[in-house]
């Protein structure tokens, strides 16, 4: 069910941006590049494990969860780069013509982004392999250590 919901969200966003690209290609590309520069904040970054103790609520649950996902290869920086590449291809970002100078600069930035993120992800992966993650219990899965 979650995968189906995510697929519907993806399709909706693809169609929204596709239409904005038709109506305002400069604005769409500049906005897309700006969003990528500022980075997307995931709602899960505000996750907490429900403890009353404020120290535990600020314990980096999102970072721990992300690290586990990366270690298990469930979702990595390379996956993120693949998504950006997929969206760039779907919207044909590098083929949009008639752009003003600012939009052309943003277009160039977006075209290089997947390669840049792959390099960063591979560098991060090597660094993470050098620093093993310390397992800790997660209350929301009955105290099992992850």
Long-range own/partner contacts, residues 117-125 (CB < 8 A, 24 or more apart): 117/77, 117/80, 117/81, 117/84, 118/77, 118/78, 118/81, 120/77, 121/76, 121/77, 121/78, 121/80, 121/81, 122/77, 122/78, 124/70, 124/77, 125/70, 125/76, 125/77, 125/78
pLDDT for 85-142, tens place per residue?
Answer: 999 999 999 999 999 999 999 999 999 999 999 999 999 988 888 888 888 777 767 7
- How much is the pTM? 0.81
The mean per-residue pLDDT over the stretch 11-17 comes to 95
92's tokens: 């044909």
Q: Would you say residue 56 has pLDDT above 60?
A: no
23's tokens: 């109506």
Say how many C-beta atoms besides its own lie within 10 A of residue 124's C-beta.
14
Q: Which domains does the chain have, with CATH numbers?
A: 2-145 (1.10.620.20)
């Amino acid at each position: 069910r979650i995968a189906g919901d995510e697929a519907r969200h993806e399709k909706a966003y693809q169609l929204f941006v596709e239409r904005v690209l038709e109506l305002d290609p400069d604005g769409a590309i500049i906005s897309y590049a700006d969003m990528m520069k500022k980075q997307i904040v995931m709602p899960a970054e505000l996750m907490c494990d429900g403890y009353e103790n404020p120290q535990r609520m600020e314990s980096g649950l999102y970072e721990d969860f992300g690290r586990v996902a990366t270690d298990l290869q469930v979702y990595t920086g390379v996956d993120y780069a693949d998504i950006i590449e997929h969206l760039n291809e779907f919207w044909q970002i590098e083929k949009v013509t008639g752009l003003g100078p600012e939009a052309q600069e943003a277009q160039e930035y977006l075209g290089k982004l997947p390669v840049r993120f792959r390099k960063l992800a591979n560098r991060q992966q090597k660094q993470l392999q050098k620093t093993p993650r310390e397992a800790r219990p997660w209350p929301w899965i009955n105290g099992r250590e992850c």
